[in-house]
Structure 1
Amino acid sequence: MSQKQKAVEFGALHQKGNPVIIYNIWDAGTAKAVGDAGAKALGTGSWSVAASKGYADGEKLPLEALLATARSITAAVSLPLSVDFEGGYAEDPQALAVNVGKLIDTGAVGMNFEDQVVGGSGIYPAGVQAKRIEAVRALSDQRGIPFFINARTDLFLKESDQSRHAGLLDEAISRAKTYASAGASGFFAPGLADDALIAKLCEAVELPVNIMMMGGVSAPKRLAELGVGRVSYGPGPYRAMMARLQEEAAAVFSATA
């Protein structure tokens, strides 16, 4: 398939109540493994990609290294690829668009795009983030690629007390609608775990909602019943694999001591 066809296919996989499952990868090898396991699409996690190369999360991984990783994945696997692009490695909308153009050049067909100020503090005002989304959409339209902009809000991740998440829901819904008007394709709410709140978000928002599997989050089958359109696993697969690697290596070294 052409890149455009892959982008169309990727967008079509996002269905409320029948979510696409993204078991997050970090390089070409894990892309092939997850693809062979039956994945319909692939998605990187920024934490995992950075950690696999010895960097911390938060755009500490050089942009060129991230782009090289994306190119290696699209060269190895034919499935549609979405890249966790964090804050786009730029604050200014036009500089952001240039970076997204480089990402599109790797063959990727979508990205996660967060509204927290990477390297700073807090979250961008919704209107400011909307301008950034508009710049990405204009660039992808110019390229003729229906690029999937998975607009992420960090409202829930930044509030560790889940009992306060209900008080953030109205703002999250407002942001989702603002981002949709700016050209977002999906709405990502990592950190949100309460079934009732997830259901309210999915009902109030036209965009397919992405929920990340983490402590307290219901199983994907239940998330489908709540109306979720995408389920992702974030850094979980990387952490699980590294824990197993360390355990097996420790067993080898202890046996030969």
Structure 2
Amino acid sequence: MSSSADDQYRKATAFRALHTGPEPFVVPNPWDAGTARLLTGMGFAALATTGAGFSYTLGRPDGANAVGRDEILANARSIAAATPLPVSADLESGFGETPEDVAETIRLAAAAGLVGGSVEDSTGRAEDPVRPIGEAVDRVAAAVSAARELGFPFTVTARAENFFQGRPDLDDTIRRLRAYEEAGADVLYAPALPDADAVRAVCSAVGKPVNVLMGGPLRLSVAELGKLGARRISVGSSMARAALGALARAAAEIREQGTFTYGADALPYPELNALLGPGGDPAP
């Protein structure tokens, strides 16, 4: 095993172990190498990419087929290279219509330096946004099979998109997550759960670690989520949208008021340089 492979194996095992710790961990979602380095310097234990956040950097809205697999993986590669931390990726629905397409995406993700990735059951079609459960299970199984052939424990996260796609069906969401668990997924994820009761129901219905999305309307702390059974917490595109919100507010202040008070909330120049410069990354 090469030193690079050794490093990826170390990151992969560290990432997997985080899911079994005594408390849930937060995996923030950078959208480029700079935000990855900044978040690394803030002391997080792992990172995960955001497809939506990356889309915004390209001047595109988030959505099906807005960004291709090659673009997503090139961005993920730059993020993984920018940090000593384990990095998982938002792999959308696996970038292809067949299970083999999904398996190939997992292999390419591993080659990009990633140690995990999520595969969702969305279709990208507004009229029919969620795949039939049998089709979705086959795709998760293909992702798991490809991951198991790698030389390290690549963590496969299976996403049930019902709530995120405007289908608030908790029973079907749980049915899907149980099926994805049976197919071998290492982590289960149902973004946009509406309340604590739904989070508790999902976490208690499955045996694998559950990721919960925060940064939106749901107002729960890390400690509260831990009591509900969550093992991992991500923030999706919310940090990217918060940064863009700050930019929009600053621009509006300049344009509408002719003032520049927004600078009071900016990271000081020396502090940001220190976080992004040599030695800015703490040991993982």
Regarding TM over 0.5, the answer is: yes
Q: 1:250 Cα shift?
A: 4.1
Alignment of 1:41 onto 2:46: yes
Contact 1:110 1:149 (8 Å CA) reproduced: yes
- Find the aligned partners of 2:133 and 2:16 in 1 and give their Cα distance: 24
What is the one-letter code of the residue matched to 2:117? M
Contact 1:22 1:43 (8 Å CA) reproduced: yes
Cα deviation, 1:71-120, whole Å, max 9, x if unaligned, reads: 11111111000111111111201122122211111101111211111245
* 26-35 vs 46-55, greater mean Cα deviation: 46-55
Alignment of 1:43-62 (within 5 A): 43-57=48-62, 58-62=64-68
Could you say if the C-alpha distance between residues 59 and 5 of structure 1 is closer, same or farther in structure 2, counting changes exceeding 3 Å? farther
Structure 2 portions without partners, runs of 5+: 1-5, 261-284
Contact 2:160 2:173 (8 Å CA) reproduced: yes
Contact 1:17 1:225 (8 Å CA) reproduced: no
- Find the aligned partners of 1:151 and 1:76 in 2 and give their Cα distance: 26
Number of positions where the alignment pairs a residue of Structure 1 with one of Structure 2? 250
Alignment of 1:126 onto 2:139: no
1:202 counterpart residue number:
203
Alignment of 1:229 onto 2:236: no
1:181 counterpart residue number:
182
Could you say if the C-alpha distance between residues 212 and 16 of structure 1 is closer, same or farther in structure 2, counting changes exceeding 3 Å? farther
2:246 counterpart residue number:
244
Alignment of 1:104-183 (within 5 A): 104-119=110-125, 121-159=128-166, 165=168, 168-183=169-184
What is the one-letter code of the residue matched to 1:192? L
Q: 1:202 Cα shift?
A: 0.9
Cα deviation, 1:122-145, whole Å, max 9, x if unaligned, reads: 311222111111111111222223
- Find the aligned partners of 2:213 and 2:163 in 1 and give their Cα distance: 11
What is the one-letter code of the residue matched to 1:115? D
- Find the aligned partners of 2:111 and 2:233 in 1 and give their Cα distance: 26
Aligned-residue identity in percent:
33
Q: 1:170 Cα shift?
A: 2.4
Q: 1:47 Cα shift?
A: 0.7
* 88-97 vs 27-36, greater mean Cα deviation: 88-97
Contact 1:188 1:210 (8 Å CA) reproduced: yes
- Find the aligned partners of 1:220 and 1:53 in 2 and give their Cα distance: 32
- Find the aligned partners of 2:249 and 2:197 in 1 and give their Cα distance: 38
2:280 counterpart residue number:
none
Q: Considering only aligned residues, what root-mean-square deviation do their CA atoms show, in Å?
A: 1.9
What is the one-letter code of the residue matched to 2:132? P
What is the one-letter code of the residue matched to 2:135? V
- The TM-score with structure 2 as length reference comes to 0.82
- Find the aligned partners of 1:250 and 1:195 in 2 and give their Cα distance: 36
Alignment of 1:6 onto 2:19: no
Contact 2:68 2:95 (8 Å CA) reproduced: no
- Find the aligned partners of 1:64 and 1:19 in 2 and give their Cα distance: 32
Which of 12, 23, 36 is residue 18 of structure 1 equivalent to? 23
What is the one-letter code of the residue matched to 1:52? T
The alignment partner of 2:149 has SS state of helix
Alignment of 1:192 onto 2:193: yes
Q: 1:156 Cα shift?
A: 1.4
Structure 1 portions without partners, runs of 5+: none
- Find the aligned partners of 1:122 and 1:69 in 2 and give their Cα distance: 26
- The TM-score with structure 1 as length reference comes to 0.90
Could you say if the C-alpha distance between residues 17 and 192 of structure 1 is closer, same or farther in structure 2, counting changes exceeding 3 Å? farther
Which of 79, 83, 86 is residue 89 of structure 2 equivalent to? 83
Contact 2:31 2:54 (8 Å CA) reproduced: yes
Q: 1:249 Cα shift?
A: 3.8
Q: 1:15 Cα shift?
A: 3.5
